[in-house]
Amino acid sequence: MLRLLCITAHPDDEAGGFGGSLLLYHNRGVETFVTCLTPGQAARHRGNAASGEELASLRRQEFARSCELLKVKHGEVLDYPDAGLDKLNFYSVVEGLVRRIRQIRPHVVLTFGSEGGVTAHPDHSMASLFATAAFHWAGRSNRFIEQVEKEKLEPHQAQKLYYATADFILPDRQPVSLPPATATIDIAEYFEKKIEAFKQHTTQAPLFPLFEGRMRKGRPVEKFHLVASSTPREIAYETDLLAGVVE
């Protein structure tokens, strides 16, 4: 059984950035996991929430409904502060992600690029940096050694790390420098479900027309950049995130 772990920053990232691929790989028999670092309590769009706490609770429920539609085996929302990931202790966030990687033992890890995706959100950038360090350090027996010795967690080296990327930038935002795509995943079969999953995030409803309009303008694909591979290789354009992955 192959396993795929997706590390995101906010509820709705899992659907907007990775939804088609999560569904596609589920349908291919892969167990999928999502770890979302914040409950999104600092969002501009707040539904009817009267407080950050209330918004966090609503968004956790929306995340659960989205993960259900995307057939995610286990989705979790951690409690780090939305819009505050850049102020956290790097080592301690990475420690938590390394623990998850050593527990879940994914073959492939997906996250944002360090630019923060097309929105350049600093939380996306930080999710990328945390996830990248965790991908590498989870496999080393001399990193977070207390997990290995006291918690009896075996080091685990996932085989591939991908950053989500795109072949467009948003016209009304400052430009971002996206990682070049090295993989294009055809999600045509899952396109409508991806949009439906995004729309489970009803507190973010003002974003729906923008998101859907952008999605329907391009081809139904998700693009990724291969960042790291446990097997040394030359870059080759891929149409499958599991290419070369062994159980």
In the bound state with Zn ion, the residue whose beta carbon lies nearer, of 25 and 63, is 63
- Please state the closest distance from residue 13 (CB atom) to Zn ion, in A: 4
- Burial group, residue 172, by CB count within 10 angstroms (0-12, 13-18, 19+): exposed
Q: Pick the piece of the chain touching Zn ion (CB under 5 A) from 4-12, 56-64, 142-150, 165-173.
A: 4-12
Q: Which residue is nearest to Zn ion (CB)?
A: 10
Q: Pick the piece of the chain touching Zn ion (CB under 5 A) from 8-16, 141-149, 153-161, 225-233.
A: 8-16
- Please state the closest distance from residue 117 (CB atom) to Zn ion, in A: 7
In the bound state with Zn ion, the residue whose beta carbon lies nearer, of 10 and 46, is 10
Verify binding: residue 201, Zn ion, rule CB under 5 A: no
Verify binding: residue 10, Zn ion, rule CB under 5 A: yes
- Please state the closest distance from residue 10 (CB atom) to Zn ion, in A: 4
Q: Pick the piece of the chain touching Zn ion (CB under 5 A) from 5-13, 19-27, 45-53, 149-157.
A: 5-13
Verify binding: residue 62, Zn ion, rule CB under 5 A: no
11-50 binders of Zn ion (CB under 5 A): 13
The site for Zn ion, by CB under 5 A, has a size of: 3
Q: Pick the piece of the chain touching Zn ion (CB under 5 A) from 1-9, 108-116, 135-143, 235-243.
A: 1-9
Q: Pick the piece of the chain touching Zn ion (CB under 5 A) from 6-14, 138-146, 166-174, 188-196.
A: 6-14
Sheet holding 108-111, edge to edge: 74-77, 31-36, 3-8, 108-111, 160-165, 221-229, 183-186
In the bound state with Zn ion, the residue whose beta carbon lies nearer, of 7 and 94, is 7
- Please state the closest distance from residue 189 (CB atom) to Zn ion, in A: 25
Q: Which residues bind Zn ion (CB under 5 A)?
A: 9-10, 13
